[in-house]
Every structure is written in C-alpha cells, then in structure tokens.
Chain A
Amino acid sequence: MGFPKIPLARWVDVFVEKITDIFGGFFEGISNGIEFVMESIVNVLNYGPNWVLILILSALAFYISRWGLALFTLIGLLLIDNLGYWDATIDSLALVLSSVIITIIIGLPLGIWAARSDTARSIITPIMDFMQTMPAFVYLIPAILFFGIGVVPGIIASVIFAVPPTIRLTNLGIREVPKDLIEASDAFGSTPRQKLFKVQLPIAAPTILAGINQSIMLTLSMVVVASLVGAPGLGAEVYRAVTQVKVGQGFEAGLSIVIIAIILDRISQNLRKPAYESKVSKKYIYGIVALLFIILFIIASIGNAKPAEQADPGNIGAKVDYKITGIDPGAGLMRLTKEAMDEYELDEWTLTEGSSAAMMTELKKAYKKEEPIIITGWIPHWMFQKYDLKFLEDPKHVYGSGEYINTLTRKGFKQENPGAYKILDQFFWTPQDMGEVMIDVEEGEKPEAAAAKWIKGHQDKVKKWVTGAQRGTGQKVTLTYVAWESEVASNNVIALVLQEHGYTVDLKQVEAGPMFAAVADGSADAMVSAGLPTTHKDYYETYKAGLEDLGPNLKGTKLGLTVPKYMEDVNSMEDLQND
C-alpha cells in the first residue's frame, strides 16, 4: 500500500480548467450557436396551433409508413397534448433534433474519414468505445464547465453519447460498397470526391441511415440525463417526478417519451423508402417539409429577434440575461424561488433547473471572472466558506424566517433500537461545525476522513451526543440522505459516531422524495437531513404518518437568492424588479 494514489482526478480537473480558460470564447460561440438552433426549432414547432403540427406529423407518418403509424402519431400526440406535456414534448423534440443535426454534422465526415483511412479508423474506434462505455453522466461535468448550464451541455452530452453509431455505420457502409463498383468508379476516372458522392455515399445510404436512426434513439434516451444540467422537456418532467416520488406523473412523462420514440424511430427508419414513394416522389414531400421549416424558421427568427439591449446598461436583469440559476427541479428551494418570483413580480425572469452541482459550476465560472450571477443558495453549504457571497434581502419573507434541519426516524425505531435512537436524538451541531467538514470534502478529502477528523477535534460535542446511550452490539442502522454537500457531511459524521458506539451503519444516497419515503415505509431507519419547516414541507406532509420528528439537529439555516459580494448594486430581491 506504499504507493500513493495517482491524482488522476486532480489532473483531469486541472486539464479541464485550463481548457475552460483558453477556449472560453470559443465555447461561448458554440454555445450561442447551439442555443440559437434549439430555440429556432422550438419556435418553428410552436409556430402554429398544436393541432396543425399534429396533423402535419401524422400526414408525414402516413406518407412514410402507411396509416398504422399515422393513426398512432395522431392519437399519441393528441394524448400528449391532453396530458399537458405538449410544451415539454416540443422542447424534447427540439433537443433531439438539434442533437441529431450536430451528430450528423460531426459523425458523417468522421465516418467517411474512418472509411478512407485505416489509420483514422484505428484512432477513432477506441475513442468511440471510450465515449460509449463512459457513463453518460460524466460528460455532463465538463459540458457544464465549457458550455454553462441549460440545454447546451445537455445537447453536447447527448451528441457525445449518440454520435458513435453514425460514425461506425457510415464507416461500415462505405467499406461495404462492393469492390467492383469502386473499381468501376476508378476505372472511368472518378476523382475521390466524385467517387464518394456518386458511388460510395448513395450505396452506403441505407447503412448510414440505420446509424442515424440509432443515434436518434440514443439521443432520446439522453433526455432525462440532459435534464440534470437544466435541459427542459420531458426529461425534466421525469426527473422532477423521480425527486418528488410522483409515480403517476413519472408514468405520464415516460409514456410521452415512449410515444415520441416510436414515432421518431419508425419515421427515420423508413425515410429512405417511404411507403407511398411510387405515388408521390419523396423529393417533393421532403422538399415541401424542408421548405416549410425554413420559411417558418426565418419568420420565427425575425419575429423573435430580441429587441436591442435595454437602454439602461446597469440593469441587473440584462446583465445576467434575466436568469436565476437553480438546482434540481423537485427541490423545495425551487418551489420557494418560484413563489418569490411571483411575489416580487419578476415576470421576465426565468429560473433554470438543473442540479446543485451544475449550479456550483456556474457560480465557479462566474466568480472567477467576476461576472454577475444570481443563484439559489442555502446555509449550510460550503459555497459560503469558499466564496464571498450574500443573500438578497427578502422583505416579504417568502423564504421563511427560520429554517432548521431535523432528524426523523421511522415509527417504532425508538422501541427497537433505543441506543441508536438516543444518539440520533441528541445529535446537534452548528453550521460552523458542518462547514468545517464540508470544506475539507470540497478540497479533496474523502467524506469519511473529513468526518473522522472533525470528530477527533470535537470530542466534547460528540460526548454530549452519546451520553446515556447504551452501546450497540452490531445492530444495523440504515440512514437515507441526499447527495448535497451538507448532508454528506452530517451523515458521515453521525454514521461514524454510531459506528464507534457499536452500531453498523448503512448509508443510502437517494433523491429527496425517496429519502422521506424510505424512512416512512420502514425500509430505512432514520434521516438527519429534513429541511423544515420550509424546504421539504411537501414531503413531510405526505409521509408524516410514518415518521417521528426528533427535532432540529442544526439551527441557523437559511435559504434565498444569493449573489457574489462583488455585485454591490444588488442587495435585495426588490433590486431585481424592473422600474
């Protein structure tokens, strides 16, 4: 064990940071471009009434794949509209279309290159293997760093995940063109370009389209993952349903994804050989669809061109693009922020959804360049230790006045395991204590090690927690928690304390909704992460029948919109209002 851990994570961090510094402008350009494409597609799809688009898509489905698919498209889309997921569906469709366009722009040339050069193929193939096996979530991290939060990193991650089939099958298709056709093409004196466009690509077209079809499906499978960094659409609906344990909603959103998937799959599969090709040439049909799209695209982009920058350049809204950077869509803090936006009449503002990690990345980027940013912040969180931040004043007290973190156990835990119960009941510390653990973790320490270090330094406090509690004999205690930095800190500390007292602790990392559900239904014993009375109000109300509240383990928490201190002009929620 003498060999120290290779600091691979650190190297990657440094590398990514350097790239962000050097290519920042470049990434911003790409980001703007992708956003423009995405928005234009949304605008085009949203241009007419819903039923017009539904009819057009059904007609297209009819032309390409007869009445079966047409009927399915019609009923499926009407159902989505009826369930209230129309806007989300349009967002997801636009996300998929943008990703596919980029996938083709990148994948086709790479596939061609791989087909023409064995060297290129031997370079590209292992990279593609890597791209496909690396968990797709991992791409989200650098994608946020490079492209910020929102739909763009989602698209980028989707493209990375979805591009390999297009590359692979383009390569395969071209390599599978019969040798004698290549010879014929050469023998008549084709240039390499003529050979490519007149022989190889047309003959490889079915294979290439099969690859693009696969890419479309993979992109669709990424919509939920993309929602973690703030991409809107059906994925965000699913994500929200998961964090809030809303089975019905999850099913509705999931069903919508399935409907879209089937329609896209069948249409893209038969694009090359539409069912009614003999009646009407596909050139006309596709030409009309493309023309319609382009016309609407132009109309929509003229109509949507943003009015010139507001007269007052000092306006904070304009500086941050009327964007408040938020966390996971299901969080209570998000609900509160929406309430606050209503309360303070911040109509032109949008709250972007994503995750706390994504928000922290945004903050990190902005802070480094001293750019303005508004986030949803809370104490305890290490961001207040690491950066100079301030809460915006909340004169209307939307975010509540006093917020605690409570310890909850399942009903009956006290009788079964009084010793552990007593320790959990007596567990109480301060934001300052918690901050010490958090900052160690943020700086690269393992949570267990950081917790042990804190316990070692605060024996007096720990002693109070365990006073009068009988020692365990290996009984198992299951704790659920969400992967927020604060909860990672508290759970690791309390787990270690319990273990030192003879208990076996099982820590289960879940989303907020499941955290409550698991304790309430008895599959977990306790949690020390309930944000009350405001943050987790909804969950508490839903599950309180199965829960026992042992009171706060931490006081002095706070929620609210947060800005860096260098934003001197902005101090109150009211400063965000337009005059």
Chain B
Amino acid sequence: MNVLEPKVIVKDVTKIFGKSPKAALSLLKEGRSKKEILEKTGSSVGVNHANLEIYPGEIFVVMGLSGSGKSTLIRMLNRLIDPTSGQILIDNQDIVKLKSNELRDVRRKKISMVFQNFALFPHRTILENTEFGLEIQDMPESERRQKASDALKLVGLAGYEEQYPNQLSGGMQQRVGLARALASDTDILLMDEAFSALDPLIRKGMQDELLEIQETMKKTIIFITHDLDEALRIGDRIALMKDGTIIQTGTPEEIMVNPANEFVERFVEDVDLSKVLTAAHVLKRAERITPDRGPRVALQIMKDQGYSSIFVVDRRQTLLGALTADQASRAVKENKTIEDVMEKDILTVQEDTILADLMDKAATSQIPLAVIDEHNRLKGVIIRGSVIGALAGNKEDLNVKEVF
C-alpha cells in the first residue's frame, strides 16, 4: 500500500473555534492544554495539528469519543469547516487555498459525504434525493435519473424511487444517503458516523454491505465513528483521536496490540479481543513430517519433542493429515506407511480466522488445530494454552509484527 501515492494528505491541520484564533494558535504552539486555552482566550481547539496520509482504495477510520474533534476533522476535508491553519492535499491539490467555485467543483467531482442522521431532503422523493448531487451539476435529467436509479439498485432500494424519506426505515434512509453519495461517482467518500444512528443489528448489516460495495468500487473511504468494534470491523487503518489530537494511527491490530499510550490502552481494553485477534496472532510452529520419512522417524520426533501428534505435509508444505503417536507405533508394528494410518480428515482454520470463530473447533478437536493458508499449506498450529493466554492479554503468546 505504501508504494501508492496518498490520495489525501492532511498536513499539520489545526482548527480553532472562537473569536481569537491567532492568540489560541500561538498558545497551542507553546504546548498549552485545550482547557487552558479556552480559559485564556475563549477559543476552543477543535483539531490540533493533525497529520494523516490516506491511500486510494482504503477504508480509513477516524475514531474518538464525542468532542474529540473527529467530526471537525472530516468536515475540513471538504471544507464544510475551514481549517485555521495547515494544508489539506487531495490528489496533491491544496483544497484550503481553493476559491469557492473551485471548491464547489471538488465537492461535486471528488468528494461526497454520508451523514449521521441521513440528512435526506424531506420534500424530495428517494430518487430526487439520490440525484441531488448530479442535479446541481446541471446534468440532463434522463442521464442523472439513470445514474440515480443505478445507485439505488446498488444499495438494494430499487422500487422505492417515488417514496419520500419519512416513509422509509432508518436503515433504508441511510442506504439512500449512501446511494446519493455513490451517484456522484466521486473517488472519496466521507462517512460521518454514518451507521451510528442505526440499531446494532442493522448497523452490522450495513457494515457488511459497505464492505461488499467497497470490494467492487474501491473508493477511498474516510469513516468517522465512536464505536471501536465498528472501526475494527471495517477499518483498513484507524486513527484514534482525543481532545483534537491524533493519538495513534495504524492497522486495527497495531492499535490493539501496541497501544501508543495509556489512553489508547484504556480505550481498547474493553474490546473483545477474540474478535480482533486472528489465528495468525497465536499460531505456533507446527512439527511436521513428509510421508517418505516413515513412521519410525515420526515416532522418534514425537518422543523427542514430547508431542502426541505430528502433521504430515508434502514437499510443498501442503497439509496431508495428522499422525498420532498411537497410529505411528501401529504402523511400525504392522509395517505400514504413514499415509496408510494417518488421520486425513482433520480440523483446520485459515490464518485470518478470528479467535472467536476458532474457539469451538479448538475445544472439540482431539489434536491441535492446524492453521493453513488459501493453498492449503500448513502455517502453524493453535495450542489452546496460547489462545487463552492471548485473550488474557499476555503478549508473550502473540506473534506481533514489528510496527513499521
């Protein structure tokens, strides 16, 4: 991903609300706190020297509690709020410097937005709402109707064109909001707490649908949320904000596993680790053997290492089965090959299976769970003890990649 040019670069962006932004800005440079600045100048710091690079095609989640400045930050990306200082580059064009007509063009062609409370126009039908972005670009009616109905189809709302927003449920309304943003066919999609107003079940469905749409559309999505679970579910990368400052940026697992400070740690501590950590995090090296080595060798290895079973792979590391010590000694006695006696129908999990989903298998399986990749190659093994250790927050049980 890093080889790509960033789509959006946020450079040292600060937003001060209030009457004396300059005074507040210089106090901010001195390192005064948000509270101090408010008391001294009456101005409040919305966003404090934020820096971000967002790459094409990724879902970038900005997460924080209310008042953390995340909504302000996302609104500066299309300048619904003007930054007090700093640069915002979209395709290497600094949008902070744009005149109002150039800015309108960026908003029409490059960035569209989905709002927390849907922000549908009550006096327009679903179709008219969807085509709004195109209508104000003076696109001919037949063309924009076509694009709008395509977008509605994409979000599963074909047939609702002539209804009004108040006739639809919350989830459906937000689909309209999404369709309206998609209809403009912009590269960048800003989603401001887009699913927060929906109830949990519908929210999850919408997250899945967004991921599905993203699969084909490959938009650059900047998604604001206060819900860590949501961030972890859909975010390719996450930036965590507190008091207007970006505390940490990274992939979900980086944030989970290597919290930058106590705040992040506290923030993530309530998260259900079993839904974040995957098989890859806890797998251990698996003892393996190719069938041609024979049952004697297999038995010897197991005795030496103190294992009761061993995985059987071919030369390409493709998993063939598992051999227990009992089976190995039977083969020696009856003079059979490993392939004759080994267990072929064994339970396996993929590397990216989350712990929550593999727990069941780990509990029922007689032999340790094998972890394989998409080509059925053995990657490692899940030991029950290390799963429990990882869920308990024991770092020694985690295979952590170095962060950058």
- Minimum C-beta distance from B60 to chain A (A): 18
Residues of B within 8 A of A343 (CB): none
The answer to whether B119 and A184 have CB atoms under 8 Å apart is: yes
A545-574 CB contact bits vs B (8 Å, 1 = yes)? 000000000000000000000000000000
Contact of A187 among B78, B121, B123 (CB under 8 A): B78
Contact of A181 among B80, B108, B111, B119 (CB under 8 A): B119
Of B27-35, B129-137, B276-284, which binds chain A? B129-137
- Minimum C-beta distance from A381 to chain B (A): 61
The answer to whether B108 and A189 have CB atoms under 8 Å apart is: yes
Residues of B within 8 A of A202 (CB): 121, 123
Give bound CA distance, A181 to B132, whole Å: 12
Given contacts A180-B116, A183-B115, A184-B115, contact A189 B121 (CB under 8 A): no
The answer to whether A180 and B123 have CB atoms under 8 Å apart is: no
Given contacts A181-B121, A203-B123, contact A189 B136 (CB under 8 A): yes
Contact of B132 among A180, A183, A188, A191 (CB under 8 A): A188
Residues of B within 8 A of A469 (CB): none
Contact of B107 among A181, A186, A198 (CB under 8 A): A186
Tell whether A194 is near chain B: CB-to-CB under 8 Å. Answer: yes
Given contacts A183-B80, A194-B136, A202-B123, contact A188 B184 (CB under 8 A): yes
Interface centre among A178, A183, A203 (most CB of B within 10 A): A183
The B97-149 residues at the A interface (CB cut-off 8 A) are 104-108, 111-113, 115-117, 119-123, 132-133, 135-137
Give bound CA distance, A71 to B326, whole Å: 100
- Minimum C-beta distance from B179 to chain A (A): 13
Give bound CA distance, A23 to B89, whole Å: 56
Residues of A within 8 A of B132 (CB): 184-185, 188, 198
- Minimum C-beta distance from B122 to chain A (A): 7
Give bound CA distance, A187 to B132, whole Å: 11
Size bracket, chain B contacts: 20 to 34
Give bound CA distance, A307 to B20, whole Å: 70
Given contacts A198-B136, A203-B122, contact A188 B116 (CB under 8 A): no
The A137-196 residues at the B interface (CB cut-off 8 A) are 178, 180-181, 183-191, 194
Give bound CA distance, A183 to B190, whole Å: 13
Task: Select from chain A the residue with minimum beta-carbon distance to B104.
Answer: A189
Give bound CA distance, A190 to B135, whole Å: 10
The answer to whether B136 and A191 have CB atoms under 8 Å apart is: yes
Interface centre among A180, A183, A184, A188 (most CB of B within 10 A): A188
Tell whether A496 is near chain B: CB-to-CB under 8 Å. Answer: no
Size bracket, chain A contacts: 10 to 19
Task: Select from chain A the residue with minimum beta-carbon distance to B105.
Answer: A189
The answer to whether B107 and A188 have CB atoms under 8 Å apart is: yes
B175-190 CB contact bits vs A (8 Å, 1 = yes)? 0000010001000001
Residues of B within 8 A of A185 (CB): 132
The B64-116 residues at the A interface (CB cut-off 8 A) are 75, 78, 80, 104-108, 111-113, 115-116
Given contacts A180-B119, A191-B136, A194-B136, contact A186 B112 (CB under 8 A): no
Give bound CA distance, A72 to B336, whole Å: 107
Give bound CA distance, A370 to B136, whole Å: 59
Residues of B within 8 A of A483 (CB): none
The A460-491 residues at the B interface (CB cut-off 8 A) are none
- Judged by DSSP, the binding face of A is helix
Tell whether A532 is near chain B: CB-to-CB under 8 Å. Answer: no
Tell whether A449 is near chain B: CB-to-CB under 8 Å. Answer: no
Give bound CA distance, A191 to B136, whole Å: 8
Tell whether A199 is near chain B: CB-to-CB under 8 Å. Answer: yes
Contact of B80 among A187, A194, A198 (CB under 8 A): A187
Give bound CA distance, A187 to B110, whole Å: 11
- Minimum C-beta distance from A289 to chain B (A): 22
- Minimum C-beta distance from B363 to chain A (A): 48
- Minimum C-beta distance from B158 to chain A (A): 22
The answer to whether A190 and B115 have CB atoms under 8 Å apart is: no
- Minimum C-beta distance from A180 to chain B (A): 4
- Minimum C-beta distance from A220 to chain B (A): 30
The answer to whether A190 and B123 have CB atoms under 8 Å apart is: no
Given contacts A198-B136, A202-B123, contact A188 B112 (CB under 8 A): yes
Task: Select from chain B the residue with minimum beta-carbon distance to A201.
Answer: B123
The answer to whether B107 and A180 have CB atoms under 8 Å apart is: no
The answer to whether B113 and A187 have CB atoms under 8 Å apart is: yes
The answer to whether B123 and A189 have CB atoms under 8 Å apart is: no
- Minimum C-beta distance from B184 to chain A (A): 7
Give bound CA distance, A198 to B104, whole Å: 16
Give bound CA distance, A203 to B166, whole Å: 14
Give bound CA distance, A181 to B135, whole Å: 16
- Minimum C-beta distance from A439 to chain B (A): 61
- Minimum C-beta distance from B38 to chain A (A): 23
Task: Select from chain B the residue with minimum beta-carbon distance to A191.
Answer: B104
Residues of A within 8 A of B180 (CB): 188
Give bound CA distance, A203 to B122, whole Å: 8
Contact of A180 among B104, B106, B112, B117 (CB under 8 A): B117
The answer to whether A187 and B112 have CB atoms under 8 Å apart is: yes
B307-346 CB contact bits vs A (8 Å, 1 = yes)? 0000000000000000000000000000000000000000
Task: Select from chain A the residue with minimum beta-carbon distance to B128.
Answer: A198
Residues of A within 8 A of B104 (CB): 189-191
- Minimum C-beta distance from B318 to chain A (A): 52
- Minimum C-beta distance from B302 to chain A (A): 64
Residues of B within 8 A of A199 (CB): 121
Give bound CA distance, A394 to B180, whole Å: 82
The answer to whether A189 and B80 have CB atoms under 8 Å apart is: no
B256-273 CB contact bits vs A (8 Å, 1 = yes)? 000000000000000000
Contact of B119 among A183, A189, A194, A205 (CB under 8 A): A183
The answer to whether A188 and B108 have CB atoms under 8 Å apart is: yes
The answer to whether B117 and A203 have CB atoms under 8 Å apart is: no
- Minimum C-beta distance from A260 to chain B (A): 32
- Minimum C-beta distance from A182 to chain B (A): 9
Residues of A within 8 A of B117 (CB): 180
- Minimum C-beta distance from B191 to chain A (A): 12
Residues of A within 8 A of B190 (CB): 187
- Minimum C-beta distance from A196 to chain B (A): 12
- Minimum C-beta distance from A383 to chain B (A): 60
Given contacts A189-B136, A191-B104, A191-B136, contact A203 B121 (CB under 8 A): yes
Residues of A within 8 A of B119 (CB): 178, 180-181, 183-184
The B146-180 residues at the A interface (CB cut-off 8 A) are 180
Give bound CA distance, A190 to B104, whole Å: 7
The A193-241 residues at the B interface (CB cut-off 8 A) are 194, 198-199, 202-203, 205
Task: Select from chain B the residue with minimum beta-carbon distance to A205.
Answer: B123
Task: Select from chain B the residue with minimum beta-carbon distance to A186.
Answer: B80
Residues of B within 8 A of A203 (CB): 121-123
- Minimum C-beta distance from A193 to chain B (A): 10
- Minimum C-beta distance from B252 to chain A (A): 28
B196-211 CB contact bits vs A (8 Å, 1 = yes)? 0000000000000000
Residues of B within 8 A of A188 (CB): 107-108, 112-113, 132-133, 136, 180, 184
- Minimum C-beta distance from A207 to chain B (A): 13
Give bound CA distance, A185 to B136, whole Å: 9
- Minimum C-beta distance from B93 to chain A (A): 15
Residues of B within 8 A of A198 (CB): 121, 132, 135-136
Give bound CA distance, A570 to B123, whole Å: 66
Given contacts A181-B121, A203-B122, contact A189 B116 (CB under 8 A): no
Residues of A within 8 A of B107 (CB): 186-189
Task: Select from chain B the residue with minimum beta-carbon distance to A187.
Answer: B113
Could you list 5 examples of A-B contacts with CB < 8 Å? A184-B121, A187-B80, A187-B107, A188-B108, A189-B108
Q: Besides the contacts A188-B136, A198-B135, A203-B122, what 20 more A-B pairs have beta carbons closer than 8 Å?
A: A180-B117, A180-B119, A181-B121, A183-B113, A183-B119, A184-B120, A187-B78, A187-B107, A188-B113, A188-B132, A188-B133, A189-B104, A189-B105, A189-B106, A189-B133, A190-B104, A190-B136, A198-B136, A203-B121, A203-B123
Complex A-B, nearest 8 residue pairs according to Cβ-Cβ distance, in ascending order: A189-B107, A189-B108, A184-B119, A188-B133, A180-B119, A187-B113, A189-B104, A202-B123
